[in-house]
Structure 1
Amino acid sequence: MSNVESYTATAKWLHWGMALIWIVAWLFGIVAVHWRDEFNPQHQLTFLHKAMASVLLFLIVLRVVWRLTHPSPAMPATMSPLMKRGAFAGHLLLYCIALVGLPMSGWYWSSVADKPILVAGLFLLPALVEPDQSLYDLAKSIHTYTAWLCGVLVGGHVIVALKHHFIDKDRVLAGMLPGRATDAPS
């Protein structure tokens, strides 16, 4: 059990920064695919979507290293062991599917389609596989369905955080909010 009351300032910056990038990239991706003719005829939203989402592949490495080297606050004593295991599983799913799987599936789709990914507008990612138009529909489906699953996971994460704050009235959400006096050292 950790005796830390709050996440470090660095952990908070990584959490909220990655959350902002993820949500904006997710929204751009949804609009770029589902309202392509209306809002993405020149594929500028697709370019922005890829530029932002690809950054997550690099930030997740930093985030995992930080998380493994800096303890997180203990779960409230009022949480049952089953709920604590559920919280661990939920966070693991968010890391694996939303922060790794979704960007990787997009990278795969772009590779299959022979479309470049310019990370933050700075450098190109190499293709994961050789272009193969016969895999295009499969790659698109994997990325699209993974994106919707991630939307559900992130929505659930937000709902549970709000439940902790407003119903349980514990410090789970407060421990991740920026600017709190209880910040652990960076």
Structure 2
Amino acid sequence: MASTLDTGTIESRAIARAPKVRNFNPTSKFFHWLMAAIIIVAWIIGYYGGAMLHYGVNDIETAQKVWAITLHKNIATTTLFLIALRIIWRLFHSPPPLGEMPAVMKTFTHLGHWSLYFLMVAVPVSGWWNSSSAGYGIPVAGLFTIPGLGGKNPELTPYLVTAHWFLSWALLIVVAGHLAFALKHHFIDKDDTIESMMPTNRED
């Protein structure tokens, strides 16, 4: 009887000492999934309006292009505010430590995360600057407009269009890489990387 109690006590202590599953706090998860959805939707609409439609072909296509670009701006500009809030939150709330993995993988993970943060700032700012140089307004979610980033400068616009294009594709590539590594962790490494950011995975 004493042996059974001792064994049960040892098992209970072992469970209590077992490391918790890696898990992000609810606010970090909220920023992560909201910004992921906005970035993907804004990218698709921006590509449709910028690459698939053209001004001057006919009145219908011109109107569709104006509509798509305006919708893209309304959605994408919200990330300017969200990324600012997300950076402030990150400064005061460190993410849970990475799980066991080779040092080189940890380095690539950190580089990937910092690349995401850089591009989440650079892409909307380059679009903001591009619209400003062309003399167009910068609407935010159909609620208000923000001041131009610098004055109107048509000579600069082609360079800003190119910069915004390259940065947007870089963001897509980094996001795709982020997803690919998350799937690798889940299906090959079989760790808790994906679960740590799932809304259903609650903190204890």
TM (normalized to structure 1)?
Answer: 0.91
* Gap regions ≥5 residues in structure 2: 1-19
Tell me if 1:91 matches 2:113: yes
Find the partner of 2:74 among 34, 47, 51. Answer: 51
Residue 36 of structure 2: aligned partner: 19
Tell me, what secondary structure is at the counterpart of 2:155? helix
The one-letter amino acid of 1:5's match is R
Tell me, what secondary structure is at the counterpart of 1:27? helix
The one-letter amino acid of 2:70's match is F
Count of residue pairs the alignment pairs up? 180
Shift of 1:84: 0.8
Cα separation, 2, equivalents of 1:144 and 1:46: 14
Spell out the pairing of 1:1-40 with structure 2 (5 A cutoff): 5-37=22-54
Cα separation, 1, equivalents of 2:91 and 2:164: 28
Shift of 1:13: 0.8
Shift of 1:180: 1.3
Residue 144 of structure 1: aligned partner: 165
Find the partner of 1:67 among 86, 90, 95. Answer: 90
Contact 1:55 1:119 in 2 (8 A): yes
CA deviations on 1:2-34 (whole Å, 9 max, x unpaired) are x77200111111100010001000111111111
Bigger relative contact order (CA 8 A; separation at least 6): 1
Find the partner of 2:187 among 139, 151, 166. Answer: 166
The one-letter amino acid of 1:67's match is R
Find the partner of 1:82 among 98, 104, 111. Answer: 104
Q: Which runs of 4+ in 1 moved over 6 A?
A: none
TM (normalized to structure 2)?
Answer: 0.83
Cα separation, 2, equivalents of 1:176 and 1:11: 8
Cα 1:40–1:158 change in 2 (3 A) is farther
Tell me, what secondary structure is at the counterpart of 1:145? helix
| CA-based RMSD | 1.8
Shift of 1:123: 1.3
Cα separation, 2, equivalents of 1:155 and 1:5: 22
The one-letter amino acid of 1:143's match is H
Shift of 1:47: 0.9
Cα separation, 1, equivalents of 2:107 and 2:174: 16
Cα separation, 2, equivalents of 1:63 and 1:177: 17
CA deviations on 1:47-78 (whole Å, 9 max, x unpaired) are 1111111110101111112222222121111x
